[in-house]
Amino acid sequence: MVMRVDLRYGEGSLPLELDSDLTIEQLLPKTVTKHPNVLSELLRVQESPVDSPPLSERVSEVDSIAIVVNRLEHHKLIEDFLLSLLSSVETLAFDPDNVTIVYPLIPGERVMKDEVNDLLGNPEARGHILVLHRPEKEADLNHIGETPSYSTPVYINEAFLCADLKIGLGEIRPDVFYGATGGRMSVIPSASGLKTIIRNAKLRVGKNIGQFMMETPSCIDMLEVAQIAGLDFIINTVLDWQGNLAQVVAGDSRSSWKSGIESAFRIASVEYTRKADIAVVSAGGNPLDNTLYDAIDGLYPALEVTEHGASIVLLAECSGDVGPNGFLRGMSEYSSEQEVLIASDTNFEFGMEKACFFWNVLNSRNVIICSSLRESLVEEHLHCTAVKDLQEGFETAQSMLASSKKVAILNDGLRTTPRLRNP
């Protein structure tokens, strides 16, 4: 008997067939069965926030508002949230000219304002101001100090800083390098300058990182950046791996975020029985597998569930290529985690923090990448085996091992937090 699974890849999926003589463990995060009404839940949490006066009260006390919209996977949901939030503000007869929506761009990204307007439900047509935040554009930034713990220079978007009330819209899910998304990410990276972002990224090189690890140097630094910049209020969603809404949290940028993290942890956590010989992991499809830099986070749970010397098949389309120059440089110009660590001390480039992690994985696992990347790039510069077909990738993984009876399937690696079941 053959078992078939379909794993997300870009905008679609790829099939994998597995023989019945294998021990197969599918690691699926929890799926929400009760779906709250999105807009009514949003209104409820806005008026009953955590450790904060109701949003209507806060809006009535200020003259200007800035809303940062974090880049998310589920564009329709964030559009609904933003438009509902704007409707709430407009109901209070707040001058729309005094509401600024800040949308972050990736350095060098060529995006027109009309495209972002369409993505966000056209807030400018309602009289609001839309600002595209370019972290490399120093003319739009203000330097407002340094973080106390790690002396990170804090450069923040001026339109955000000038607002009386600063609100962040985002999503909370596990993240290998940030611990968890949401909360303070409305400031860093979403409203911060490139110098701030790069300095914070450098704190992740060679450090203890992992999903829901919230006391790392980088995480502490991010909280301090958000505090210095004055993030007043957040509205964050918690979704399951299928994109269903599980919870909305709102209120104080730290305590409401922490309550959302608890929910995200419960949903992402999945028990497994024993370490596997092979792990097949999908990064979760577009946009999570747009570049290898984005998708590399999927190796973390695959590393957790496999034995030393095991093989990992990473499924990621990578239509946007490898990612930042620092990532490729860290993989192609150096030959170990230690070499990247030494080089980054004096010559850090954004992306090297993930190269350091990637080398750590390659030190103990065989990695096969199923993607649209060039074979020569994957094999000569990234030191992995390249395949274009998932079935071929699995068979290649089997051929690398003397025994490959136990297989772990991770349908969405970036949203899966494995926990070994106690005997």
Q: What is the pLDDT of residues 376-385, one digit of tens each?
A: 999 999 999 9
> Token digits for 235?
């509205």
| Nearest by Cα to 169 from 80, 92, 105, 288 | 80
Residues 11 and 83 in one domain: no
CA atoms within 13 A on the CB side of 84: 19
Max CA-CA distance within the chain? 70
How many angstroms separate the CA atoms of 67 and 192, rounded? 14
Alpha helix segments (H runs only) across 182-243? 194-202, 217-229
Residues 238 and 310 in one domain: no
Residues 386 and 331 in one domain: yes
Residues 110 and 227 in one domain: yes
Strands 129-133 and 417-420: unpaired
382 close to 316: Cβ distance less than 8 angstroms: no
From residue 363, give the alpha-carbon distance in Å to each of 33, 315, 331, 337, 338. Answer: 40, 20, 13, 8, 11
How many angstroms separate the CA atoms of 386 and 389, rounded? 9
27 close to 420: Cβ distance less than 8 angstroms: no
pLDDT of residue 352: 96
How many angstroms separate the CA atoms of 62 and 74, rounded? 30
How many angstroms separate the CA atoms of 193 and 158, rounded? 10
pLDDT of residue 131: 96
pLDDT of residue 275: 95
pLDDT of residue 236: 95
Look up the domain containing 204 and give its range: 38-267
pLDDT digits (tens, 9 = 90+) for 38-80: 888 888 999 999 999 999 999 999 999 999 999 877 777 778 8
CA atoms within 13 A on the CB side of 220: 12
Where does a domain end: 227, 246, 267?
A: 267
Residues 255 and 354 in one domain: no
> Token digits for 388?
């274009």
CATH of the domain at 110: 3.40.50.11440
pLDDT digits (tens, 9 = 90+) for 1-33: 788 999 999 999 999 999 888 899 999 999 988
DSSP state of 47: H
pLDDT digits (tens, 9 = 90+) for 148-184: 999 999 999 999 999 999 999 999 999 999 999 999 9
For residue 36, pLDDT beyond 80: no
Where does a domain end: 252, 267, 282?
A: 267
Residues 256 and 302 in one domain: no
CATH of the domain at 309: 3.90.226.30
The torsion angles phi and psi of 50, rounded to 5 degrees, stand at: -85, 125
pLDDT of residue 40: 87
4-13, 250-259, 343-352, 414-423: lowest mean pLDDT where?
414-423
* Positions of E strands within 43-91: 65-69
How far out from the chain centre does Cα 266 lie? 18
How sure is the predictor about 405, in pLDDT bands with cuts at 50, 70 and 90?
A: confident
- Structural domains counted in the chain: 2
How many angstroms separate the CA atoms of 89 and 56, rounded? 7
Residues 26 and 55 in one domain: no
Length of the chain counted residue by residue:
423
- 4 forms beta bridges with 17
For residue 224, pLDDT beyond 90: yes
Give me the mean pLDDT over the 86-103 stretch.
Answer: 89
Give pTM, 2 decimals. 0.93
Residues 207 and 341 in one domain: no
How many angstroms separate the CA atoms of 220 and 217, rounded? 5
pLDDT of residue 281: 98
Residues 414 and 391 in one domain: yes
Where does a domain end: 221, 246, 267?
A: 267
pLDDT digits (tens, 9 = 90+) for 321-368: 999 999 999 999 999 999 999 999 999 999 999 999 999 999 999 999
How sure is the predictor about 217, in pLDDT bands with cuts at 50, 70 and 90?
A: very high
pLDDT digits (tens, 9 = 90+) for 392-404: 999 999 999 887 7
Q: 28: Cβ–Cβ under 8 A, 6 or more apart, which residues?
A: 241, 270, 411, 416
Residues 105 and 232 in one domain: yes
How many angstroms separate the CA atoms of 51 and 159, rounded? 26
pLDDT digits (tens, 9 = 90+) for 97-131: 999 999 999 887 888 899 999 889 999 999 999 99
The torsion angles phi and psi of 80, rounded to 5 degrees, stand at: -60, -45
pLDDT digits (tens, 9 = 90+) for 293-315: 999 999 999 999 999 999 999 99
Residues 77 and 217 in one domain: yes
Using a pLDDT cut of 90, give the percent of the chain over it: 83
Give me the mean pLDDT over the 411-421 stretch.
Answer: 94
How sure is the predictor about 423, in pLDDT bands with cuts at 50, 70 and 90?
A: low
pLDDT of residue 133: 97
Residue with the larger pLDDT of the pair 187 and 121:
187
Residues 19 and 50 in one domain: no
pLDDT of residue 153: 98
How many angstroms separate the CA atoms of 28 and 409, rounded? 8
